[in-house]
Chain A
């Protein structure tokens, strides 16, 4: 079965590689941008620390999953080179991973898949934990304080990664085991497919949450905190929960990014990349709705990957690396969008819950059982029993 897929997939070269690359980065960044949309677009929590959560996901793979994989391989009887000390961890890494671990994972697909699932689960937990830690100093205060704390934390996490080789090999970086070694075709394809699938699952989770009463509560907090607090809701607690939940999801992007490159180095997880680009996508597409996030993400990712792919053409005409030109272009784009289309390319629609007669709601005083309203439509009922006059 697997061999059949492999032969069907064929070789990935040239333009096809670009498409796979765009799909992969779209999947990765759409997870981050959707989580950001969940936080900022819907609840008004300005999470400027996306890079921290992504880096936590990547460090989970390099520091925890890799040790687990080594332990499994060693207990299967394969002798690994020593990897206890800092030096050995980095120096013997390539042989340990590529020569000794990957062939074992190729023969044992179940082990590889459970490693992937394990690292995703651990990243979810650790990402949520780091989200909770980040929320501690500033979640009670004004949004600007939260932004300041979160934006400085990205640099901090990079410093830890740079100076502790046991985490991700310091400045040199480490290779991580290829959990898709059992797939005979191209590794990029399967990673992209799995990333897109996880993005889809995340999309449905976020959509369900946003359409639930909790989602309406989030929007209410965004619009007016004081009112929500006055009706007895715990605003600080809800904001913290949102930050924690979305942080866990964001960490998944870090895991998948690490497995796509099969390599983790702290320099890949800069603040400019993983915080600024998701924000750009969100503002470009329009905060508050997922369609806008998808559109913004697709535009920015396609533009950046195409520029990088055809870098050699640009490099003939420019005297500087093209990435700086890209920074200038996208920075200008963000400001232009902010000024000329403040609500993004696809503005947020008013919340419409099927099964609620809005006309009557405005004309007369009606009480609505908001909890049952969306379910009634799904059950195929006519909107009848949920509303009654006071």
Chain B
């Protein structure tokens, strides 16, 4: 089957997972990943991110659903599907007594590729591992081990790379290097799916973001659109005298009354150039509304999760 550049490189249809004697980890997930994009799967711990990745990679068996990797069924045609996938796991699972070069060369062959010392050298240089090629993995730092896992995942030149919680236990320098590497991979045409519970990571790298919680994929959106949602902020004015209703003079800001009229809340978009705060406060002053406290709050990713999960119920 020839790859169609317009089609999804990964297509999940109705993928579910029910662990034996355990909770349902995934509820009928449908998801299309576009060729060449960086997709961030965001969710709190235990949301089902790793389960989803593990199913696509063949480490966990799905209870239901179909998975197509570049048009190849991940069950019936698993060899063709898996050859296209590289996985950097969350845990630092390595063969302690192997050298860096040996373990990366091993991964390449394991995935059915003939040895290519030039490619492996370039890969190790890109990841600043070349100097350490003869070192045993047990002698490397945690950050270096993570680089080794990335090199192993890229050793067979996959088209689709999974990064499961890439910044778990990683220092700032490595995180930055990793982001640079991810972008350069994308420029070479590699599609990247990363899981994270850090909104900053998704913000920094992703083209699109999927939010998953309690095994359900709650939304999939372009990053820009999600950031607008995340960019919602609230301004709370605690009034000296409670109000019975919002004065019509404030209608253009559409504020709401909270706490039995004691709090006047204005929700605005922090990413807009003009937040409307100065005008709003001026009008409040003109109306002679006195307030004793002023507070602003940002809607966090957590709030979004809670919102989305509540809405699901």
- Are A and B genuine complex partners? no
Binding site for B on A (CB under 8 A): none
Residues of chain B whose beta carbon lies under 8 Å from any beta carbon of chain A: none
